[in-house]
Each structure stands twice: as C-alpha cells, then as structure tokens.
Structure 1
Amino acid sequence: MKPTIPEFSPPADAAARRAIRPVICYPPETLPVPDLASYRAAREGWVKTAEVIVPARAAASFEVPAGHFFRITSIEGPQVGDLNLFSADLSERFYSGKTRALHGTHLSTGDRLWSSFPSLRPMATITADTLDWYGFDGDGGSVHDVIGTRCDPYTHCLLSDGGQYHHCCHSNLTRALAAARGLDLPAAEALVHDVLNVFMCTGFTRDTGQYFMKASPVRPGDCLEFFAEMDLLGVLSACPGGDCGSEHSSDMARCFPLLVETFRPSAPPAGWASPPANGYDRSHGG
C-alpha cells in the first residue's frame, strides 16, 4: 500500500502548485463526429442475422461485417462482460488506452472504440446505451470502463499465494479466440488485449487512487449497441465476478449469460464509409 503520511514536508508554494489548472491532453473538438442520426435511421428495417449466448464464466466469439450493428444484452441477471475487438484478419486490435485518452475513462453513446497503431481508426461506434442515465455516482463510479485491464490468472495467482483459476476473463478470451481462429493457446493469448468492461461499474478511490468496482446497475433487458466501422471479430467473456459487486476470479459470485445479436441494415447509413487507416506517414523522423 502507498504510505498514507508523506515522507517529505510540502514546500512553501505547495498550494500554488496544486492550484494549477488541468489541461485536457487530447481536446476532442477535432475528432470526426459520428452521425448518430444517420446510424439510427439505418436501423429501420434491419434484419437480425445471428445471435450468440455467452455462457456464464466463459467466452464466445462473433463476427460483424462492416456496416452492420451488434448489441450486447443482459438477459437473466446482472452480469458484466469483457469485450475484445479485432479486425477480421486480426491485424488490428482495440486500443483501450488510446480510446480512454480520446473519450474518457467510461464510454457511452457516440464514443468510438479505436484500433491499435499504426492504423488508429474507429473500429466501432456506440449507438445506444440503456445505462447512460447512470452518469457518475457519488463514489466517482460509472459504467462501461476502459480503465480495467481484465481479470487474469496471473494476478490471481500473485494475490492468492499461487492459486490456479482458469475462468478469468483473460483465459476465457484466450480459449474463445483460439477456437474462433484455429490458433494454439499461446498464439491466441499473445493477441488478447485490454478490454471494454461492458456494464461494469468502476472508478478510482479519491484517497488512494485505487481502481475499484461496485455492483453493476445492469438489469435484464439493458444493452449496449455498436455499429461496426470495419469487418470485426468480437470476443466477449461473461466475467466470473457476475455483477462485480463483491469479487472476481471466483466461482462464488452469481453469474449469468450474456446475449450478443448482430443486425444487417437495409442500407448503410447515409454518407457512411469504412474509415481509412491513420494518415501518419510512419517515417518517425528518420
């Protein structure tokens, strides 16, 4: 734990140093703005093309063609999910850190999930969020975070004095990706990456700055909906923490399945085109 009492006395100008105003690192005003009205109009007459049930404490994969929608829904009880997105050819992966830097710690309608370098382009756009009413609570918690990495067996082993647990989201995602693309487990594990924590309620404590979780407000029928900006492979784990109100990496929490549905619109959104790769020339000053 961090020491609660500083080792060093504050300087005479400590108050002035703390009073310096923050500056937003990446002002969003110049980001391309998704045309949500056009996306939503494209729902008219859409056709459901597939559905996948993600079992409790396990993961499943799904494919979404560019220009289609997918929706993650709570169906039996409060449950959070860890989402990895890949381009269909696995050359691009969801970049949670840059998504966080561009949109904030928690995502909602209109935010985008950005891909890894060197492409750095939108992979999916959030088009509906039935939990957008939650906002930030009195603890500083909110839903759909891009700050947690995913529960994993390595941290579990570290914190449980050698415990071996195989239903952590990292392992679930690894197995599901391996099955989806015919990879061996080491090759799949190397591709698994930090997630969007769908429905999870999280934040940082104000006194120690520690990552916390609390019981998700999600209930059956709540959903998070996306528009695929490119051909996607999704892998979703129904976290062994259930609603993450008590613990994760455990078989003790009540867990429930999640539903993933994909939809084909009758026509693409007006004016839509799949985003090109980032325009940086990759010379790096060389």
Structure 2
Amino acid sequence: MRPPDDADTRRAIAPVICYPTETLPRPDLALYAAARAGAEKTGEWIAPPRDAVAFEVAAGEFFRITCTDGPQVGDLNLWNRHDLQERFYSGKTRALHGSHLGIGDRMWSGFPHLRPMATVVADTLGWYGTDAFGGRVHDVIGTRCDPHTHHLLSGEEYHHCCHSNLTRALAGAAGLDAETAAGMVHDVLNVFMCTGFTRDTGQYFMKASPVRPGDHIEFFSEIDLLGALSACPGGDCGAEHSSDAAACHPLKIEVFRPDPKALADWQSPERNGYSGGHGLPG
C-alpha cells in the first residue's frame, strides 16, 4: 500500500505520556531505608527449581528475593492476605511506571482497590539499565509461561509452567481447589528476567538474565501480603521458558521485620477513593 503524502508528518507527531505521575503519592524511601537498617530476619522460603512456594509478609515488613545457586528468573504474584480478590495488577503498574520496575516503583493492586501493594527498595541489578537490544530487567510485560499456550503451540501437556506452579502454591497456602486457584493466579512481575520488544516486528523477546548468585531485589510490603514465587522452568530464560532441558536453580525469599518505632508515623495505604458509582443512578 502506498503511504499517504503526509505520512512523515503523522509519524513525527511527538508522543504524550498517558499517565503523568507528578501527583502520584511518592514512597518515603528514606524512611524505609532507616526502618530496614534495624530490621531482623523472621522468615525464609525456597522456591525449588521448576516449582513455586507461597509466603506471607505483614504490612511494614520487607521481603527479599535472592538468586542463590545460578542464574534464575522468577515469576511473582501478590495478593491481599485477607482478600484474595485484591491482587497485583501488572497492566496498571506498567502504565504508571513503565515496562520494567526499579527502586521507588510500586506494585499496584487491581480495581477497585488500586493502591500500592509493595515498593521496590533495593535492586542489585539496577546497574543493567537498557542494553543494545532494548532489554531491561524485572518486567511487567510478560504474562507468565502457562500450560495452555504451551499446549497451543506444541500439543503437549506440561505441568511446571509458572502458571501451574503458582496455582499449586496458592492452592496449598489458601486451601483452594485447582480450578479456583488457577483463576486467582494473575500476570506477574518477572523478577530478574531480561526482556524487551524487537525493533523490527515489535515482538516480546527474552534473553539470558544477567542475574548471578548473591543478586537480589527487595520490597517494602505496603499491606498484608500473601505472595507466591515460581522459579521459572526456563532457568535464566536465555533459550526457552517451558522446558525440562534448561538449567534451573532455586530462589530464596526472606522476610525482615523492622522495629515498630521506626515506622511509627507510617500508615498502610487505604484503598482507592473513587466512589464506585460509574455514572449509574442510585
């Protein structure tokens, strides 16, 4: 098709940020850092290779995800511990903060709550930035590897995709059947995963994660959380992400509790203030 005469003019129109964040409430990172300095470790969980584990974090505590044995990507889900209907909303998080998260960015819950669930407070991969391919780490682009897409593309049954791993972890922690738990699993934060979009076709790509043993990302828990972390069957996701062939390693989750006095003036965020009427009568 021949482009219109004003094609270059149309392409040259400057972009506009969809959601300007100047009025977005800012996390008090200095307060969080002071509280973290005196925090004590209260819990530890291990997500085994090609499997997931559930964990709990109270509001005002910190949780850290660490690469222990070798390069490994993790898929993270978060729920309100008291109401599983409130869960991480990757799409709105992406719209507010961008395609990949870093220090000071927050994981937001879905409607009607739309409040911070956790805030990134430390990241040893913060140096990576953007590589020559457009790759960055800790994305909120990808949905999670799942057995349905795997079956669609290969015709095979595979039960260790991150969706299934997270389903088993949630079912065990919350006492849910498989169907209910699978429906509660949601799009993830791809911890340590290096991803972007190809410049020619716009396809979602992954490449071997730069994570190494000892690297970690840490969060401040804004509300009481139930989390689940899957050690992806793709390992470092340098080749494929639903596979028994990739080298896979465990991931460690630790929880740290600060001195209550350090957060004396802090309050867990309230749910979003929108009335919920949606313009309907009554």
TM-score, scaled relative to structure 2: 0.97
Matching of residue 263 in structure 1 with residue 256 in structure 2: yes
CA deviation vs aligned residue, 1:151-179 (integer Å, no higher than 9, x gap): 0001111111x111110000000011000
> SS at the partner of 1:164?
coil
Task: Kindly report structure 1 stretches of 4+ aligned residues shifted beyond 4 Å.
Answer: none
> SS at the partner of 2:36?
coil
Give 1:245's aligned amino acid. Answer: G
Superposed displacement of residue 95, structure 1: 0.1
Correspondence list, 1:35-46, <5 A: 35-46=28-39
Superposed displacement of residue 91, structure 1: 2.8
Superposed displacement of residue 255, structure 1: 0.2
Out of 69, 76, 79, the position equivalent to 1:76 is 69
Matching of residue 274 in structure 1 with residue 268 in structure 2: yes
Q: Equivalents in 2 of 1:43, 1:86: separation in Å?
A: 23
Superposed displacement of residue 270, structure 1: 5.5
Contact 1:38 1:270 in 2 (8 A): no
Out of 96, 103, 107, the position equivalent to 2:90 is 96
Superposed displacement of residue 43, structure 1: 1.3
> SS at the partner of 1:82?
strand
Aligned residue pairs, count = 278
> SS at the partner of 2:254?
strand
Structure 2 residue runs without a partner (length 5+): none
Alignment match, 2:242: 249
Alignment match, 1:132: 126
> SS at the partner of 1:15?
helix
Superposed displacement of residue 181, structure 1: 0.5
Superposed displacement of residue 271, structure 1: 2.8
Superposed displacement of residue 48, structure 1: 0.5
Contact 1:41 1:269 in 2 (8 A): no
- Please, which moves more after superposition, 39-48 or 213-222? 39-48
Matching of residue 170 in structure 1 with residue 163 in structure 2: yes
Matching of residue 207 in structure 1 with residue 200 in structure 2: yes
Alignment match, 1:120: 114
Give 1:38's aligned amino acid. Answer: L
Contact 1:68 1:228 in 2 (8 A): yes
Q: RMSD over aligned Cα, in angstroms? A: 0.7
Give 2:267's aligned amino acid. Answer: A
Give aligned-pair identity as a percent. Answer: 72
Contact 1:44 1:266 in 2 (8 A): no
Q: Equivalents in 2 of 1:45, 1:93: separation in Å?
A: 29
CA deviation vs aligned residue, 1:213-262 (integer Å, no higher than 9, x gap): 00000000000000000000000000000000011100000000000000
TM-score, scaled relative to structure 1: 0.96
